[in-house]
Chain A
Amino acid sequence: MSKFSEFGNSLYNGDRSFNFTGKRKLWFAISAVVIAISAILPFTLHNGFNFGIEFKGGSEFTITGGASKGVDLARQTLSTSLPGKEVVVSTIGTDTVRVQTPQLSDTNSEAVRLALAKSYAVDSSAVSSSFIGASWGSDVTGKALNGLLWFLALAAILMALYFRTIKMSIAAMAALLHDLLITAGIYGSFGFEVTPAAVIGFLTILGYSLYDTVVVFDKIRENTEGVEHSATATFSERVNLAINQTLVRSINTTVVAILPVAAILFIGAIVFGAGTLRDISLSLFIGMLVGTYSTIFIAAPLYSQLREKEAKFVEAAQKVLAKRD
């Protein structure tokens, strides 16, 4: 039937094989370059990460008696007086409009206040301004980091117990770090504001990436069981076969998982011009691609590298290679 199925068959029986573990230096070099670029780009293009008002606090304006004119008027006003800044607009009670913006200087703040009063045709005294603190303050971040560290430690222990080797945990964690750095870097180089939704997107990616790694690692575990007794294959060849045998699964899963996210990103954000959806779907889109890439090109080859130097595998590999010659 389809070529793709034949492709799967040939990968499974080894007619076709991509050398993932052998060319690991190339993959590691590519990733190192990408990480370096994604660490630099946000700073060269956009002056670093642009955290939203949820993280930094900001300025708040309330327009008493403005609710009847709707919230879009405020968005339009702000798009001319504060171009390119994310604003949050909502109505409070029955007659008040609330506008939250990034922290403004006193002169800017006064200008915005007067512009809002003019748009809503109310007296300038009906528009009040004040500062607001961060809703995602340092205590939330602190607890999130603490939770994250605990989770990574526990996940590493769980994987070490299940796979009977700490080296799988190390490889998986290295891949996670790789994903996080690249995803954050690429996100930052778009210059989009870092919102709580985007951070939740990053966390989702961490979960997804680890999940993807575990699925492939389980196949590696299966293939490398008793490989030190094999007369026909070395450890790294078995790892490489496992990656090849799960390649169709990796491609299918990534396509299925990324289609809805891509739909939101491209249709939702470009056609409908959605704001928050754009942030979160962008972080998910990058993260899923990077997460799948890192499992195949970083986590598995790194695991192979960490273990193939073990005496029993070196010995077995020498026998296998000697036999081949």
Chain B
Amino acid sequence: MAGSTSNKLARKRLAWLLVIFIAFAGLITTATLTKVSGATLVPQLALDLQGGTQVILKPTVNSGSVASAEQLAQAVDIIRQRIDSTGVSEAQIVTQGEGADAAIVVSIPGKPSDSTLELIKASAKLEFRPVLVTGAGTSALVTSAPTKANPNPTPTLPASSPIATSTATPTDNSDLNWVSKDLQAQYEALDCSKQFRTPGQVDDPAKPMVTCDRGRTAKFILGPVELDGTQIAKASSSAVTTSAGSATGQYAVDLTFNDAGKTSFGNVTKRLFPLTAPRNQFAVTIDGYIITAPAIQAVITSGTAQITGGFTSDSANALSNQLKYGSLPIGFQVQSQENISATLGSQQLQNGLIAGAIGMLLVLIYSLFQYRALASITIGSLVVAAGLTYLAITLLSWRMDYRLSLAGVAGLIVAIGITADSFIVYFERVRDELRDGRPLSVAVAAGWKRAWRTILVSDIVSLLAAGTLYFLTVGNVRGFAFTLGLTTIIDLVVVTLFTVPLLSLFSNFKFFSSGNSWSGFEITTATGERYVGRGTFREVDPSVSRNKKSLGEAAKRQTIAERKAAANNGEAGEQ
């Protein structure tokens, strides 16, 4: 009766494990067969084992000046954080050369997509500038994209309308006196349909500028910078919903300003609000291109803003990541982009795998020696753990750009120890219960109850390590944290859904319950004293639930042990 329910539970757990296996394998196979980008049947390897792409970024600075070492170091830091925001690929970013030859070399495993390249090299200089003059980027009448701040933008006139120019000193950033003759000529010559900015171009924040929106449909003269990306405390992306909560299919980047930003933004809205169109608009520019130019409809002092305007889910996410980690201190352009071979090569991986396989064989021999027939469960569990790990890292190299490096392989090999420890702890607890005189079926259940607590708390400590390091570190350390977390979760899954139910099913067999000398459960040492105890235990405690009794029981049980230990201590001299 008790046996049959525990058997049912054991079968249910094994069924769950099968479900997980089929789900993972099915997901990977389906995605690969339907050619979902990035999905493969084998895990992706990191830079050291597989090579990848090397992108050399040259700083774009005005002739005569050079990028300083601090600027380069800062750029490396920001680029690393941006790459980390896309997954755990463990890219390598270094500075190369000095002075005028300086460059940043980014090595990424595999082939970077256009959006990854954009993410790396974009300066992501976010600026808010007041609109002074606007007109069609080409000759057609245009409407700028509707925005949250301005849901119904009025069509703007073609650029033919005359612009007043002035030589007087401007009084504030919205002053039309900024529009000099030079600027006017630039504005009129500007054709948005052509390339009008050099890559990595940097604009003087204290001066007005001419530019186009990203859709290249309208051109603008913008006043000096009111506030910039350094005044953003937080950036995130979200799907835009209507007031009723339904999705509009649009995506937005949400910004929260810091205190300084909050004040400047409030002041801008205060100044722009009473002005006439288009001077009541401000433009949000990223690297000189206007993303949106909404009109001010209220004075905003809350310190938050939402940018909309033709974002996809990906581009909104990329922009918010760029803003989150700050803009690059200098502009960059891609100088070269070439394949790079693995630094370690397949030989190292192969050697590692051969040595690992030999190690596994030694583990097999040792467990046979230690656990006899039980070794089948040990080895089975390790094989299941290996299979699950393979599926998980394959899935994650598709979903999270996880790349297996040589250090990662070593981490997985150490994980063998931690996984094996779970069932070693369990087996030893079962043996302890047997030593206390319980029959195997009871010992298996009671041993698990006590082992589970130990396994859970030690794995939670490991998960805590993994989580903390994952969120607080960058690069290789973050990759390590990811591997640690992954293998710990797999350990928990394997021990609960495979080792435990299997042992519980095995305990039904006479071979094991009789304590056959090959079963691994033979506990034959002199138990004369305890045989008395065994009968007692059986009477009061035939089931698993022994918690209430445990204190008194422990006292009884440990009497012999303690007496002996005390005797030993006595010999050792108690001082």
CA–CA, A65 to B458, complex, Å? 55
Contacts of B125 in A (CB 8 A): none
Contacts of B352 in A (CB 8 A): 264, 268, 274, 277
Asked if residues A272 and B340 are in contact (CB atoms below 8 Å), the reply is no
Asked if residues A91 and B341 are in contact (CB atoms below 8 Å), the reply is yes
Contacts of A12 in B (CB 8 A): 431-432, 435, 561
A46–chain B nearest beta-carbon distance, Å: 23
Specify which of B356, B428, B569 is in contact with A8 (CB 8 Å cutoff).
B428
Q: B36 near A: Cβ within 8 Å?
A: no
Asked if residues A130 and B344 are in contact (CB atoms below 8 Å), the reply is no
Contacts of A88 in B (CB 8 A): 343
Q: A267 near B: Cβ within 8 Å?
A: yes
Asked if residues B562 and A14 are in contact (CB atoms below 8 Å), the reply is yes
CA–CA, A260 to B417, complex, Å? 9
Q: B226 near A: Cβ within 8 Å?
A: no
Q: A215 near B: Cβ within 8 Å?
A: yes
Contacts of B545 in A (CB 8 A): none
Specify which of A57, A237, A253, A258 is in contact with B569 (CB 8 Å cutoff).
A237
The 8 A CB mask of A283-325 against B (1 = contact, 0 = none) is 0100010000000000000000000000000000000010010
B191–chain A nearest beta-carbon distance, Å: 37
Number of A-B residue pairs with CB-CB distance less than 8 Å in the complex they form: 328
A233–chain B nearest beta-carbon distance, Å: 4
In this complex, the interface size class of chain A, counting residues with CB under 8 Å from chain B, is 35 or more
Asked if residues B461 and A155 are in contact (CB atoms below 8 Å), the reply is yes
Q: A84 near B: Cβ within 8 Å?
A: no
Specify which of B76, B410, B420, B471 is in contact with A137 (CB 8 Å cutoff).
B76
If A136-B475, A260-B416 touch, whether A150 touches B341 (CB-CB below 8 Å) is no
A18–chain B nearest beta-carbon distance, Å: 9
Asked if residues A151 and B469 are in contact (CB atoms below 8 Å), the reply is yes
Asked if residues A253 and B424 are in contact (CB atoms below 8 Å), the reply is yes
Specify which of A23, A140, A226, A280 is in contact with B406 (CB 8 Å cutoff).
A280
B-facing residues in A2-47 (Cβ within 8 Å)? 2, 4-6, 8-10, 12-15, 17, 19, 22-23
B85–chain A nearest beta-carbon distance, Å: 14
B184–chain A nearest beta-carbon distance, Å: 45
Q: B376 near A: Cβ within 8 Å?
A: no
CA–CA, A156 to B45, complex, Å? 35
Q: What residue of chain B has the Cβ atom nearest to residue A277's Cβ? A: B352
Q: A123 near B: Cβ within 8 Å?
A: no
Q: B105 near A: Cβ within 8 Å?
A: yes
Asked if residues B461 and A252 are in contact (CB atoms below 8 Å), the reply is no
B78–chain A nearest beta-carbon distance, Å: 10
Asked if residues A135 and B341 are in contact (CB atoms below 8 Å), the reply is no
CA–CA, A226 to B475, complex, Å? 47
Contacts of B481 in A (CB 8 A): 147
B45–chain A nearest beta-carbon distance, Å: 14
The 8 A CB mask of A202-238 against B (1 = contact, 0 = none) is 0110111011101100110011011000101100011
CA–CA, A136 to B90, complex, Å? 11
Contacts of B562 in A (CB 8 A): 14, 230, 232-233, 237-238, 241
Asked if residues A135 and B92 are in contact (CB atoms below 8 Å), the reply is yes
B-facing residues in A52-80 (Cβ within 8 Å)? 57, 60, 71
27 contacts between A and B (CB under 8 A): A2-B370, A5-B523, A13-B564, A14-B568, A57-B95, A90-B343, A91-B341, A92-B338, A130-B97, A130-B101, A143-B472, A151-B464, A200-B477, A206-B465, A208-B418, A237-B562, A237-B566, A237-B569, A249-B421, A249-B428, A252-B370, A257-B414, A259-B359, A261-B410, A261-B414, A276-B407, A324-B566
Q: Enumerate chain B interface residues (CB-CB to A < 8 A).
A: 48, 51, 54, 72-73, 76-77, 80, 92-98, 101, 105, 338-345, 347-348, 351-352, 354-356, 358-360, 362-363, 366-367, 369-370, 372, 405-407, 410-411, 413-414, 416-418, 420-421, 424-425, 428, 431-432, 435, 450, 453-454, 457-462, 464-466, 468-469, 471-477, 480-481, 484, 517, 522-525, 530, 551, 554-555, 558-566, 568-570, 572, 574
Q: Closest 9 interchain pairs by CB? A: A257-B417, A260-B359, A14-B561, A263-B359, A133-B95, A147-B472, A268-B355, A93-B338, A14-B564
